[in-house]
Amino acid sequence: MIKNVLLVLGNGYNRKNLIDSAIYLRDNFGFKIRPFHVRDVRKKEFLPNAVDGIMLEPMLAGISKEWNAFEEREIEKIKAELKENGIDAELEVQFGITPEVVIQELKKSDMLLIEKEERFTEDLVVLMKRFYKPIIVVRDKALKLDKIAVANDDGTKVNKSFQRFSNIFPHIEEIKSFELVDSLEEDPEEEKKENYLNTFMEGKGIKVESVKLLKSDSDAFLQICKEEDILIMGNLSNSYLYEKLTKRVGIKIMEQAETTLFIA
């Protein structure tokens, strides 16, 4: 059975990391690569039709022409990068609103591969609320699966993400379980409590290294997960703004982690 990954290539600085990640999936796990680019129609919406009653159509026509030329050059650059890196698949290009087009096109793919820029963009928030297939979010380094970790709050969302990860990448032999806890002080009652995700992973024959980290200390979590190649997380809920305002640790990890993320 052939699996394919939807490789979304924009104008971001992580393009090389994205391409290398797609090649890693192709060469190690047999994924077919679907290179994809969206010419976002919103890019021109910031231009006014008039200022103080003065019609700007002649000037806007020139700006629009320059923007179109820029986009054409970017598309040619992407095509050249794909060819240079040995990806023969044709670059698919569509006009539209980026998250809406990507969500629709994902129906034809098994997984989404996309970049996370330095800030959490609104488009990425929309995608992470509405996606329905596994997503790999790449930032500062290309995908590898040598050192795998999971952000373990023992909830159902991360449990589902791990299960889908293990179905796609069944070779896992060991994993670090970053257990998010309220206190690091020894508590006999807490020690007796079972961590269901750890039990689930161990039941698959995986060696689990448990590392307890305070929920309140997201900075320590971000620092330690830099050492990992990929971090498995639960998906973003529809209450993103509420969780951000209430400083939920999962949101900060998603926004600031430099590690590649897998979310399903």
Q: Where are the domains of the chain?
A: 1-143, 144-264
Instruction: Indicate left, alpha or beta for 47 from its phi (over 0: left) and psi (-120 to 50: alpha).
Output: beta
Q: What is the pLDDT of residues 193-219, one digit of tens each?
A: 889 999 999 999 999 999 998 887 888
Which of 181-185, 202-206, 220-224, 239-243 shows the lowest mean pLDDT across its residues?
A: 239-243
With contact defined as beta carbons under 8 Å apart, do 40 and 70 qualify?
Answer: no
Q: What's the whole-number mean pLDDT along residues 57-67? A: 67
pLDDT band of residue 57 (cuts 50, 70, 90) is: low
CATH class assigned to 1-143 = alpha beta
Q: What is the pLDDT of residues 70-125, one digit of tens each?
A: 899 999 999 999 999 999 999 999 999 999 999 999 999 999 999 987 777 788 88
**Of 82, 85, 86, 83, whose CA–CA distance to 37 is shortest?**
82
Q: Is the dihedral of CA 264, 32, 22, 104 positive or negative?
A: negative
Instruction: Look at residue 240 in the predicted model and tell me its pLDDT.
Output: 43
Q: What is the pLDDT of residues 112-158, one digit of tens each?
A: 999 987 777 788 888 888 889 999 999 889 999 999 999 998 999 99
pLDDT band of residue 183 (cuts 50, 70, 90) is: confident
144-264: what fold?
Answer: Rossmann fold (3.40.50)
Residues above pLDDT 90, as percent of the chain: 58
Instruction: Look at residue 219 in the predicted model and tell me its pLDDT.
Output: 85
The segment with the largest mean pLDDT, out of 28-42, 113-127, 178-192, 222-236, is 28-42
Which of 36-40, 175-179, 255-259 shows the lowest mean pLDDT across its residues?
A: 255-259
pLDDT band of residue 1 (cuts 50, 70, 90) is: confident
The C-alpha atoms of residue 42 and residue 96 are separated, in whole angstroms, by 8
For residue 246, which amino acid is it? T
pLDDT tops 80 at residue 27: yes
Instruction: Look at residue 140 in the predicted model and tell me its pLDDT.
Output: 87
Q: Is the dihedral of CA 124, 130, 131, 136 positive or negative?
A: positive
